[in-house]
Amino acid sequence: QVQLVESGGGLAQTGGSLSLSCAASGDTFTHYVMAWFRQAPGKEREFVAAILRESADTYYADSVKGRFTITRDNAKNTVYLKMDSLLPEDTAVYYCAADSRILVATRLRSYSYWGHGTQVIVSS
């Protein structure tokens, strides 16, 4: 069992930057693959980025590759998403997700634990 709480959402301008955090509590943080998903109004939730366990290998959606960076700090039980060069289409609620046993890190259904989301709005 793990609880996830996102923070850091807010308003940014096109080309600006924003950093999100996801604090985890409960089970040992290092046992979990961590990921970020996002959902815009009227659209399905989509994969953004994931970071694996001990290896800390990362995966990104094509739409954010080169602009977003996912990292984790195991000592702080926290995963981060640094977003640079923001675009209006990045506007969405961003969700943190976790699971200890993952086959496909980019799939929504791979994750058992979810935060409640944090709103990101990018204005033009």
Beta bridge partners of 71: 80
Q: What distance in Å separates the CA atoms of residue 76 and residue 64, rounded to the nearest whole number?
A: 25
Name the nearest CA neighbour of 82 among 15, 3, 8, 6: 8
Give the model's pLDDT for residue 31: 85
Give the model's pLDDT for residue 56: 84
pLDDT mean over 14-18: 98
Structure tokens at 67: 């602009």
pLDDT digits (tens, 9 = 90+) for 26-75: 877 888 999 999 999 999 999 999 999 878 899 999 999 999 999 999 88
pLDDT digits (tens, 9 = 90+) for 66-81: 999 999 998 899 999 9
pLDDT digits (tens, 9 = 90+) for 61-120: 999 999 999 999 988 999 999 999 999 999 999 999 999 988 899 999 999 999 999 999
Count Cα neighbours of 43 within 13 Å in the Cβ-side half-sphere: 14
Concatenating the DSSP letter of every residue in 36-84 gives EEEE-TTS--EEEEEE-SSS--EEE-TTTTTTEEEEEEGGGTEEEEEE-
Among left, alpha and beta (phi > 0; psi -120 to 50; other), residue 18 is: beta
53: number of Cβ within 10 Å: 16
